[in-house]
Amino acid sequence: MASFIHLLKTIEQHRWLVFELAKREVKLRYRGTWLGFFWSLLNPLIMTVVYTLVFVFFLRVSIPYYSVFLFCALLPWNWFNEAVVSGTDCFTGRANFVRDAIFPSGILPVVSIGASMMNYVFSLPILLIALLTFRVPFGWSLLTLPLVIAVQFLFTTGIVFFLGTFNVFFRDLRYIVQNLLMALFFLTPIMYDLNTIPARFHFLLKLNPMEHIINDYRCIFYYNNWPDWPDTGIVLAISLALIILASWAFENYRESLAEYL
């Protein structure tokens, strides 16, 4: 618990540095490109178009406003996927910061997650335009969006701290993570509704915290309903437990990181 409190204090004390580094990372990611930030929207838009063609016109899936159903799940998934992939390299990719004894290296995982979150937040107006275009009703449940974003941020933080720390010592981890994320994408109800899956498999799919997070976004944007608070509370508890364990692991290995970079 002491390492967790120390990590919180470090992030709070350097919050402006976290923001500036995250903003810098977003700018560097699209530096020299013509479309700039819009590249972050191109991937979910193309995937939405392709999956809509396949599932609506070829497989005849009867989900109303399927494009919106898919898009409101793809955006947070892309944030999660991008944050985990880049966060796994948060220390190995910034070795000069880690070797600097003065620099608070504990903020680096948060920088990676924050940069990916910026892409998600900036893409929300496109989602709102889609809701208006397809005349999908939305209401007061939108007020709970910051809470769901916060839960996803905490959950991703716990994972990234673990992966970023141990990737320094086990460099194959990044490739394992990329393959696991691909499998997790299909095991998360993003392209399909959970109710289309046989009931005997629901328990297995619900073991995935991202299933609950994606469902919360759908409740807000697609179903015009409140998030599933009991499930959200469970994910929040898991996220806090992950962060506490991950901060303990980071503090125990922090002095060894520079030696392996």
Q: What is the pLDDT of residues 44-100, one digit of tens each?
A: 777 778 888 877 777 677 788 888 899 899 999 999 999 999 999 999 988 888 888
Q: Which of 19-23, 53-57, 101-105, 183-187 has the highest mean pLDDT?
A: 183-187
Note whether 162 and 238 are within 8 A (CB): no
Is 242's pLDDT higher than 90?
A: yes
The pLDDT tens digits for 93-146 are 888 888 887 888 889 999 999 999 988 988 888 888 888 888 888 888 999 999
How far apart CA 142 and CA 216 sit, in angstroms, is 11
Q: What's the pLDDT tens digit per position in 208-233?
A: 999 999 999 999 999 999 999 999 99
**pLDDT: is 40 or 219 the higher one?**
219
> Residue with structure tokens 């194959």?
172
Tell me how far CA of residue 110 lies from CA of 107, 157, 231, in angstroms.
5, 7, 24
Q: Which amino acid, residue 171? A: R
> Of 67, 64, 36, nearest to 54 (Cα)?
67
> What local confidence, expressed as pLDDT, does residue 231 receive?
94
pLDDT of residue 39: 66
CA Rg, the chain, in Å? Answer: 19
CA–CA distance, 172 with 198 (Å, rounded to integer): 36
Question: What is the reported pTM?
Answer: 0.91
Q: How would DSSP label each residue in 135-201? A: T----GGGGGHHHHHHHHHHHHHHHHHHHHHHHTT-TTHHHHHHHHHHHHHHHSTTSS-GGGS-GGG
Residue 261: C-alpha distances to residues 14, 54, 127, 168, 172 (Å): 23, 45, 41, 7, 15
pLDDT at 157: 95
Residues contacting 238, CB < 8 A, separation 6+: 155, 158, 209
Question: So what's the pLDDT on residue 251?
Answer: 87
Cα–Cα nearest to 79, from 42, 118, 29: 118
pLDDT at 33 over 70: no
